[in-house]
Structure 1
Amino acid sequence: MNRAWHLRIRKTHRYLGLFIGIQFLLWTLGGLYFSWSNLDDIHGDHLKRPATTFPASLSLVSPSVSLRALQQKGVDSVLNIALIDVLNQPLYQLNYRMQHGKGHAMIHVQLADATTGQLRGELTQAEAMALAKQRFAGPSTVEQVEYLTSTNGHHEYREKPLPAYAVTFKQPAHATVYIAAQLGTVQSVRTDPWRVFDLFWMLHTMDYEGRDDINNGLLRAFSVLGLLTISSGFALYFVSSPGLRRRAKSGGKPVRLTS
């Protein structure tokens, strides 16, 4: 192979390595963080106490009482009914679908007192704070409380039920407990290790809008460029190896070196 081809391959490998080297470094750092992390700890499972259970002897009214009250609000169909605990009080969680403009249907949730059947509103801030403290396994010192009505693709509470309360504790690792106000349930716990994980995951997938699209064009392009970089590295090794070049010149026959 002539010197011009040799230099062309070397230059291609050098510039490809320079262009995608930073992304390769980010992929490697992310892989190290993922492989050395405990996913249960990352997800905050160790900071959530299990939900309270009810005795089988608990006296409740029939859900039909709440359904009749819901029907008076114009609801004609229910998806499901769940019994949940909110601060040691049994509540019915009524999930229903309502038609909106142009035939568009949306799913809504209505809470009801399971001992009386009376409908009630979403959780108040005081109830959300108390529930967060009840379900949180760490120290109960609250740093701040935020009421969320919207999030974006970069928010750590993305694609989850809104509105929601974000109750942040000072320790450990600025843990934030997210509680869906209308559902009356804890949705997730986010800590600093999760936020680092989420950042590396975004850099790993190269989805800088929503994190989870692993079929985006940018990731595909860099994957192809990575393959070209590796291929040019093998080609550079071949054209730079004296032994391989001597074998190529001799037609593949061993070359005997004499002193």
Structure 2
Amino acid sequence: MQSAFWVRRAHKWIGLVIGVQALLWMISGLYMVVVPLDVIHGDHLAHVPTERLDPSSRRITQAQLHVDHPGITSLRLKVLLGKEVYEIKQGKTTSLIDATSGKTISPLDRDSIAALADAAYVGEGSIRGIEWVTKAPQEVGARPVPLWAVHYDEPGKSTLYYSPYSGDLVARRHELWRWFDFVWMFHIMDYEERENVNNTLLRVASISGLAFALSGLWLLFYSFQRRKEA
């Protein structure tokens, strides 16, 4: 009898503490289920166009690149704004080299980024501003800065983030993604970085939830036992 009193009391207080978080888990989980993941990723906003390489327009060879830019650790040939370019890496430094003239064309300027965004964007808005970002906002995580942020004038407040050194589209962000990030923060209970799914707070909440369920199960069996005795 005494044990039932304390288990019931613990069950009540654990329920009060964990109930709010359980509700947040359900709400955030529902959002993640309802909104398709490809929409969250912004696949509907921009498609990077693919263009065929044209060897006839290429004058700079890879051997010449290694002579002109010693210490190359990675090299990739691609098409950017209708031109063939080499993307080279020297340690942590990335550069773009015109495959015809051999000229370094990075970091890309505002007009080049606007052209890249226009070629990739498939939404309904128009560019309302292009921002040079030197301090990474929360929504781009640990991606290296600086970045070009291309903001669009449309209800979803879409933003395309480009690397000025590689010309790559590194992130697509919009309101549905931002809401996802917000509810994800509550789902994993990481209120700072929103990335750590093994944080102490989540462990404590999970253990408390388990204790709530086990105490409830114990009380259920206890009530049945009491009925049999009666």
Determine if the TM-score, normalized by the shorter chain, exceeds 0.5.
yes
Amino acid in structure 2 at the alignment position of 1:206: M
Say if 2:132 and 2:149, in contact at 8 Å, map to a contact too: yes
Give CA-to-partner distance per residue, 1:135-169, whole Å, 9 cap, x none.
111135112222112226xx111111321111111
Give the one of 78, 96, 103 matched to 2:90: 96
1:198 aligns with 2:206: no
1:252 aligned partner: none
Question: Percent of counterpart pairs with the same letter?
Answer: 33
- Structure with bigger gyration radius: 1
Cα displacement (A) at 1:186: 0.9
Q: With the length of structure 2 as denominator, give the TM-score of the two structures.
A: 0.91
SS class of match (1:139): coil
Q: Report the number of matched residues.
A: 229
Say if 2:49 and 2:119, in contact at 8 Å, map to a contact too: no
CA separation in 1, counterparts of 2:86 and 2:125?
27
1:104 aligned partner: none
Cα displacement (A) at 1:56: 4.1
Moved beyond 6 Å, runs of 4+: none
Q: With the length of structure 1 as denominator, give the TM-score of the two structures.
A: 0.82
Residues 1:42 and 1:58: Cα distance change in structure 2 (over 3 Å):
farther
1:175 aligns with 2:158: yes
Amino acid in structure 1 at the alignment position of 2:190: D
SS class of match (2:140): coil
Amino acid in structure 2 at the alignment position of 1:147: W
1:74 aligned partner: none
CA separation in 2, counterparts of 1:57 and 1:111?
17
Q: What value does the CA root-mean-square deviation take over the aligned residues?
A: 1.8
1:114 aligns with 2:99: yes
Give CA-to-partner distance per residue, 1:88-143, whole Å, 9 cap, x none.
2221110111xxxxxxxxx1101111111122330112211221111111135112
CA separation in 1, counterparts of 2:210 and 2:125?
51
